[in-house]
Structure 1
């Protein structure tokens, strides 16, 4: 194998390990509630109606937790 390919593989393994370490604290319920939390956060950015539109998604994440 050439050196650039080895370096590329090492970087790829490091990236996967970093991703795994970042997701580890979430646990089972945290991972399941993540889509509800992300949608809620994105909706809250919208002026005037964002918080009202995000309410069902907040309840969804609360129910999962």
Structure 2
């Protein structure tokens, strides 16, 4: 039994609604390209080899757009 006053079901529904509201302004192609863009951004943080490793993911997002 949960000790919190907010039911787990309500939290789950609120999380899905928040995710949907965050993705709503994005167009169809932008939603599909999002994983490529996030991976590219994360790889670019790595010193020395980050930009070279991110190049395929940049091309992936460009091809989708």
RMSD, aligned CA: 2.0
Structure that is richer in helix per residue: 1
State the partner residue of 1:45: 45
TM-score by length of 2: 0.75
Aligned residues: 62
Structure with the greater alpha carbon radius of gyration: 1
Unaligned runs of 5+ in 1: none
Alpha-carbon distance in structure 2 between the residues aligned to 1:44 and 1:55: 9
Unaligned runs of 5+ in 2: none
